[in-house]
């Protein structure tokens, strides 16, 4: 007997349950000590693996682990340390300048405000969302390329862009689950629904939501 593809409400309920079973207490993947070190770590993670960032940041924290000390460092000294993370010229300058801005404008504190965070160099909407969620516990749903890809495979968004995907996910899932879901989807994607390992045809969530899917899901890139 042919199984039916799940309706959207059924997919949402199944995904919530499946992710909670697999990752009931998802840890924050980037090592950090406070909102400032999380902000810098997330900035460094752009186009870089969390694993590599976690190898680099201990040495960076030895140089400076707060905006007051970081603002006193040269861009060159910062860049030498963070080079393995890629894009080091841009990232090192952003780290120094945002540290100077935090000292000058916010008494050295990371502001608990999405709009203000987005004005800092090197801090886009996704990075600001991660800091709001993981440093301050404010409900947020940062969407990176992994989440954008999985949301399309699971039929939760039309995939026009990451901004639309974020809106769709926030509409579908309860607000109190957003922060954990962001991490749970990332962990699930890494383990089961990788960019080249599933294509919407292999992992438990894809095959449960779409048992009749015969061809790889074409993903609209952000």
The span from the CA of 110 to the CA of 99, in Å, is 9
Active-site residue among 126, 160, 168, 170? 126
The span from the CA of 195 to the CA of 59, in Å, is 31
Mark whether 126 is an active-site residue: yes
- Of residues 123, 128, 116, 54, the one with CA closest to residue 95: 123
Active-site residue among 69, 144, 180, 221? 144
DSSP state of 153: H
Length of the chain in residues, anyone? 222
Mark whether 144 is an active-site residue: yes
Structure tokens at 210: 């779409």
Catalytically active residues, by annotation: 126, 144
């Amino acid at each position: 007997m042919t199984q039916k593809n799940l309706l959207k409400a059924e997919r949402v309920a199944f995904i919530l349950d499946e992710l909670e079973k697999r990752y009931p207490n998802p840890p924050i993947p980037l090592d950090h000590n406070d909102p400032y070190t999380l902000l810098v770590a997330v900035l460094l993670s752009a186009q870089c693996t969390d694993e590599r960032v976690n190898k680099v940041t201990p040495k960076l924290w030895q140089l400076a682990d707060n905006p007051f000390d970081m603002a006193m460092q040269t861009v060159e000294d910062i860049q030498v340390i963070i080079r393995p993370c890629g894009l080091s010229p841009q990232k090192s300058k952003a780290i120094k300048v945002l540290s100077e801005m935090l000292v000058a404008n916010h008494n050295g504190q990371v502001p608990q405000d999405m709009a203000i965070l987005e004005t800092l160099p090197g801090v886009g909407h996704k990075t600001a969302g991660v800091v709001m969620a993981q440093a301050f516990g404010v409900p947020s749903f940062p969407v990176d390329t992994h989440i954008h890809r999985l949301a399309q495979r699971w039929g939760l968004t039309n995939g026009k862009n990451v901004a639309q995907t974020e809106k769709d996910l926030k509409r579908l899932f309860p607000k109190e689950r957003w922060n954990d879901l962001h991490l749970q989807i990332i962990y699930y994607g890494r383990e089961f629904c990788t960019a080249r390992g599933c294509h919407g045809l292999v992992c438990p969530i894809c095959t449960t939501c779409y048992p009749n899917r015969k061809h790889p899901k074409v993903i609209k890139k952000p």
